């Protein structure tokens, strides 16, 4: 078999496989917001730009969330993040859980784990500055409810 013929067959097979991947359904929904996260405007702005895409029902699904296999990763990450902490259901958490969740937020932010570095590559506006971290820290240590 000539080398070019095999190359074309591989390319057509790869294209068919990528096309078939698009047929796998992916959940990309934004349920209604049950409760707004109570926070001062500066904190709300930080949370909105750096956290809400994954940790709320206000996800802005980017174009690549519609193309497999990236769509699978994005949908999985959002579902996992909402299970961990969902600002759209904040008031449904018991007060002791809210306190623990805010302490977890502070720890993740201080350690540089949130927002994840790979998210910041495509969403540079989500990266937290030192001032953003200080604002969140003061709010959480002061009155996080």
Cα-based distances in Å from 72 to 28, 38, 77, 132 = 10, 31, 9, 30
d(CA 22, CA 9): 20
For the chain, give every domain's residue range.
27-143
d(CA 75, CA 93): 23
Q: How confident is the model at residue 12 (pLDDT cuts 50, 70, 90)?
A: confident
State pLDDT tens for residues 40-66: 999 999 999 999 999 999 999 999 888
Q: Residue 140: exposed, middle, or buried by beta-carbon count in 10 A (0-12, 13-18, 19+)? A: buried
pLDDT at residue 2, as a whole number: 59
d(CA 50, CA 116): 10
């Amino acid at each position: 078999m000539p080398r070019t013929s095999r190359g074309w067959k591989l390319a057509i097979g790869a294209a068919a496989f990528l096309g078939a991947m698009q047929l796998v359904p992916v959940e990309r929904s934004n349920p209604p917001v049950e409760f707004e996260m109570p926070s001062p405007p500066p904190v709300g702005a930080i949370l909105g730009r750096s956290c809400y895409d994954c940790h709320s029902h206000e996800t802005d699904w980017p174009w690549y969330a519609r193309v497999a296999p990236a769509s699978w990763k994005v949908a999985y990450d959002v579902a996992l993040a909402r299970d961990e902490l969902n600002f759209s259901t904040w008031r449904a958490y018991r007060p002791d859980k809210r306190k623990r969740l805010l302490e977890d937020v502070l720890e993740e932010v201080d350690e540089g784990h949130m927002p994840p570095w790979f998210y910041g590559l495509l969403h540079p506006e989500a990266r937290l500055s030192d001032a953003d971290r200080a604002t969140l820290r003061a709010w959480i240590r002061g009155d996080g409810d």
